[in-house]
Amino acid sequence: MSDLYQLNLWRGVRWLWFSLAPLTAFSLMGWVIEPELKRLYLPLVGTYYWHGESSGLGVAFSLLYLGSFLWVFGVAFGNWRRLTADARITLGAMSVLIPIVLVDMLVYYGVLTFVPTWNIAYWVLAIAMSIHLNLQIYRLSQELEQANAELESAYRQMIEHERLSTIGQVVRGIVHDLKNFFNTIQSLADVGIMRAQRDPAFQAEKYFENIGQSTRRAHQYLLDLLEMTREESELHMEPVEAAAVVNEVAKLSGARLMNPPVEIVNRIPRTLVMEADRRYLMQMFLNLTLNAMQAMKNWHGERRIEFDWVEHPEQTILVVSDTGPGLPPEVRDHLFEQSVTTKQGGSGIGLMLVRRALEKHGASVQVHSELGKGTQFVCVFPVAPRLMQVSEQATVAV
């Protein structure tokens, strides 16, 4: 049923009852109708029924009441096609009241001696209202299901849009990182060729070594990307000398080739042995080192990366710190979340690999950083360290 039609019908019904209200009051007060009540015995049901003898005005009022009642139903049936399916069912059920009201009035005026029908009318009305309410609930549930389907579709579209946006951001970061690798290789090759053309006695070994290191870094970067796409693999736990891994990372990172160079200080005892997967430990140290080097690229202060160890009887605690510009709190607090990076144009893949390496070992990390004073990563591995019987000393990685 349209909203406008319902409004007009409601206005008509309201006007009807307001106009009949004074007559009803007069009837109750006996000003118009002065019935004489008689108790009639109904043998069919074995009970009594109160019969009233009304005046002519009372009969007229009753006819007006009945006519108004029928008029409301007539208007509703006249607009049958404009009604909704549930409204048609409700109207059909309530139309049973018409003969019930008519019969009841005929019994009241003594035309018929029959069973009182108002109780039946109440039952019919209750059933009709129950049907109407259940139909309304069903319709609302259908609308709710449709709304949920539309909401789910919109949510899927939003997730797909976010996924594509994330992929685009990661791809831009990967292209940016590979571009840096290839720019370094191209620059070294160009300078080497230019020097060789000017000086036939030029020794190009250093340039070839630097090109090889940059190529290995790019290769390792691609291997890391490939590792991220693989299914979960088992750890290859073995005794690992953490200091030896740091020395290898120092050579692979090319920190000394930066202008000005970045010093890598290895304070982890050479005697320290821990149970770990060497691949993931290398991946973690290398990405933390490359991240620190990138942060200090335009840093004019002290340029140093330190690897240290905190003695603990039940845990292996390794610390990686730098003297770079530090991290703002909004970056530090969300550092290991997806697509979070500390460098402009970065992909955040390095930090994601660090997090994955730690998770593989069941380790945790704490990040301490202060602007202008550097950043410190405290990596806590849930394995007891083991020290070999060799003198401990701090070494500077070469």
229-258 pLDDT, tens digit each: 565 567 789 999 999 999 988 877 777 767
Taking residue 284's Cβ as centre, other Cβ atoms within 10 Å add up to: 28
Residue 252 vs residues 263, 319, 369: alpha-carbon distances, Å: 13, 19, 25
Q: What is the pLDDT of residues 259-274, one digit of tens each?
A: 788 899 999 999 999 9
235: left (phi over 0), alpha (psi -120 to 50) or beta: beta
Q: What global pTM score does this model have?
A: 0.48
What angle in degrees, to the nearest 10, is found between the helix axes of 205-229 and 242-253?
120
In the numeric block, which tokens belong to residue 262?
Answer: 């970045």
Q: Is the pLDDT of residue 370 over 70?
A: yes
Interval 322-366: pLDDT, tens: 999 988 888 877 777 654 455 544 446 778 778 888 988 999 999
Estimate the crossing angle of helix 118-198 against helix 349-360, to 10 degrees: 110
In this structure, the number of other CB atoms found within 10 A of the CB of residue 175 comes to: 12
Q: Which tokens sit at 397?
A: 């990685």
Confidence at residue 261, expressed as pLDDT on a 0 to 100 scale = 85
At 134 the pLDDT is: 72
More confident residue, 335 or 300: 300
Query: Average pLDDT, stretch 142-149?
Result: 84
Q: Which of 25-39, 143-157, 178-192, 329-343 has the lowest mean pLDDT?
A: 25-39
pLDDT of residue 340: 47
Higher pLDDT, 380 or 122: 380
Tell me the per-residue pLDDT of 22-81, one tens digit each, with 9 for 90 and over: 555 544 444 444 455 566 665 555 555 555 555 555 566 566 666 766 776 677 767 767
Sheet holding 395-396: strands in order across? Answer: 364-370, 374-381, 316-322, 304-310, 263-266, 395-396
Average pLDDT, the chain: 73
Name the one residue in this structure whose structure tokens are 């019908």: 9
46: its two tokens: 């074995």
Q: Which of 384, 379, 222 is nearest to 285 (CA)?
A: 379
C-alpha–C-alpha distance, residues 216 and 252, integer Å: 7
> Domain boundaries in the chain?
3-116, 239-396
CATH number of 239-396: 3.30.565.10
Burial class (CB in 10 A: 0-12, 13-18, 19+), 101: middle
End-to-end CA distance of the chain: give it in Å, rounded: 86
pLDDT score at 389: 65
Question: What is the reported pLDDT for 297?
Answer: 83
Q: Which two tokens stand for residue 150?
A: 């539309």
